[in-house]
Amino acid sequence: MAVMTSPGVKVPGDYIESVMISVKAKNPAEPEFHQAVAEVFDSLRLVLAKHPEYQSARLLERIVEPERVLMFRVPWFDDQGNIQVNRGFRIEMNSAIGPYKGGLRFHPSVNLGILKFLAFEQVFKNSLTTLPMGGGKGGSDFDPKGKSDNEVMRFCQSFMTELQRHIGPDTDVPAGDIGVGGREIGFLFGQYKRLRNEFTGVLTGKGLGWGGSLIRPEATGYGCVYFAAEMLKSKKDSFDGKLCLVSGSGNVSQYTVEKLLDLGAKPVTVSDSNGVIYDPDGIDREKLAFIIELKNVKRGRIRDYADHYKKAIFMPTDIKLEHNPLWNIKADCAFPSATQNEITARDAANLVKNGIKLVAEGANMPSTFDATKMFLDAKILYGPAKAANAGGVATSGLEMSQNSARLTWTREEVDDRLHKIMIAIHQNCFETAEKYGTPGNLVNGANIGGFLKVANAMLDQGLV
Ligand code: NDP
């Protein structure tokens, strides 16, 4: 039901072009946001040609505009008694199909544009999960690295003192992301509960003893590998014996490695912002346990892996290089699981040259626009982030359901639901790509599949 029309309807290409020009003019110096919008718009040409009602309702102009942007001061005392000041954000992007939902990122690179790109992606990703969740994202330029537990706690308490005014179990439900794991969610939840005097499912990724869901820590990595297994299945292939490249060594990477081992693959790399580990013998369960202890408990650097396992090679990050040596190692499958734009056009060319068969994105927007085009042109199996890494937020949705029903599902039950959701997301993307005349192009499948549900809800709900 379209409730409004706009004069001067243009052909879809011109309409998209004019909205893109306005996005760049209205949001200057936000290249990641422009990139995320341009990628989605590229797929939507196919939809607008069939559905002029979206243009009449000026859906594109509306969907790129956050419903609300919050930006606030976060003052805190460090261990020496000095005052520190960081900037906090929450982007409430779209609530057409459910409360805002999306993670909090604590990293020095965080700025408004990065969080807007993440919130925009989240809208389509959450729609693909089949669960009723809108899209949001937030965080701070606070760097938890090198901070004591007490400093992290004081920062989280100050951050939540402002954020609590704007969130709630039926309004906005944040979760973790880079730099925000179980420790930070605990401190944030504690302060919310203290200020609001209520014990509710306001955050996901909570501890198991106080409202968390089994499998939530594992969900993004497991989900990404389940999605990739479906991609291989579409070519009658499997993970058995496949050599796999994984970047990062945080939450997503750790459980990607674990599920790859479960399915018979051989992961050979991990990394952090200081460098890459290449272990030609493969990262087995004992080595994975070492990584988890190193990263989650000791909060150390990945180079320690090569000190411990002598056959492994450590390659330090060289910012002068325009490519990452990790993506130049010959393998069958690649799982970028660290951060945005970590695969440049040169990296993509290296992967394709070395015969990569599959790329499944655990991180958000890890491939540049040109890298994405190269994967599509090379016709390899390419699973874009908003589909491949949706298992994390899907399991957050399952945590919300358990909190509302005051129930706890078993590990097997949550894992089974996660697995079925990832199969359904792959099927939706695969079939949508075919329906719109681009078979095998899961980028189009994910963008269009995610868009349609949100756009139709926006039409139904009128001009809000
Ligand atoms: P973590 O903080 O647990 O781990 C991040 C990893 O990536 C670390 O190894 C980190 O290295 C590395 N990294 C971060 N920034 C950079 C950078 N600029 N350059 C090089 N390496 C970097 O985060 P997650 O595993 O949770 O998140 C990883 C990615 O997955 C992000 O893109 C996130 O948005 C995405 N994601 C996460 C979900 C989740 O459930 N956690 C859900 C969906 C997507 P170092 O330790 O040196 O910083």
Residue-wise pLDDT for 272-321, tens only, equals: 999 999 999 999 999 999 999 999 999 999 999 999 999 999 999 998 88
Which overall architecture, per CATH, does domain 68-200 show? 3-Layer(aba) Sandwich (3.40)
Residue-wise pLDDT for 410-454, tens only, equals: 999 999 999 999 999 999 999 999 999 999 999 999 999 999 999
Q: Which pLDDT band, with edges at 50, 70 and 90, does 9 fall under?
A: low
Q: What is the pLDDT of residue 322?
A: 85
Q: Which residues contact 434 (CB under 8 A, 6 or more apart)?
A: none
Ligand 1 atom closest to 396 (CA): 40
Ligand 1 atom closest to 105 (CA): 34
- Which of 186, 308, 294, 316 is closest to 249 using CA atoms? 294
Q: What is the pLDDT of residue 8?
A: 57
Determine the CATH number of domain 219-388.
3.40.50.720
Spatial distance between the Cα atoms of 103 and 121, rounded to a whole number of angstroms? 12
Average pLDDT over residues 351-376: 98
Measured in angstroms, how far is the CA atom of residue 249 from the centroid of ligand 1? 8
Ligand 1 pocket, residues with Cβ under 6 angstroms: 176-179, 220, 248-252, 272-274, 337-339, 362-364, 389, 392
Residues 415 and 222 sit within 8 Å (Cβ to Cβ):
yes
Q: What is the pLDDT of residue 205?
A: 97
- CA geometry: angle 435, 438, 443, nearest 5 deg: 100
For ligand 1, atom 2, name the residue with the nearest CA. Answer: 178
Q: Which residues contact 338 (CB under 8 A, 6 or more apart)?
A: 247, 248, 250, 253, 271, 272, 273, 363, 366
| Residue 10 in this model has a pLDDT that exceeds 80 | no
| Residue 3 in this model has a pLDDT that exceeds 80 | no
Annotated active-site residue in 137, 242, 287, 386: 137
**b/e 142-158 (16+ beta carbons within 10 angstroms → b):** bebeebeeebbbbbbbb
Mutation pick for ligand 1 pocket among 147, 215, 226, 251 (CB with most ligand atoms within 8 Å): 251
Q: Give, for 360, the enclosing helix (H) or strand (E).
A: strand 358-360
Measured in angstroms, how far is the CA atom of residue 153 from the centroid of ligand 1? 20
Residue-wise pLDDT for 183-211, tens only, equals: 999 999 999 999 999 999 999 999 999 99
Ligand 1 atom closest to 253 (CA): 25
Q: What is the pLDDT of residue 5?
A: 45
| Residue 391 in this model has a pLDDT that exceeds 50 | yes
Q: Give, for 229, the enclosing helix (H) or strand (E).
A: helix 219-233
Mutation pick for ligand 1 pocket among 177, 206, 319, 342 (CB with most ligand atoms within 8 Å): 177
Average pLDDT over residues 238-258: 98
For ligand 1, atom 23, name the residue with the nearest CA. Answer: 178
| Residue 1 in this model has a pLDDT that exceeds 80 | no
Average pLDDT over residues 151-166: 98
Average pLDDT over residues 5-16: 73
| Residue 269 in this model has a pLDDT that exceeds 70 | yes
Ligand 1 atom closest to 219 (CA): 40
Q: What is the pLDDT of residue 12?
A: 81
Spatial distance between the Cα atoms of 327 and 334, rounded to a whole number of angstroms? 8
137 is a catalytic site residue: yes
Q: What is the pLDDT of residue 90?
A: 98
Residues 270 and 290 sit within 8 Å (Cβ to Cβ):
no
- Where are the domains positioned within the chain? 12-63, 68-200, 219-388
Q: Which pLDDT band, with edges at 50, 70 and 90, does 2 fall under?
A: very low
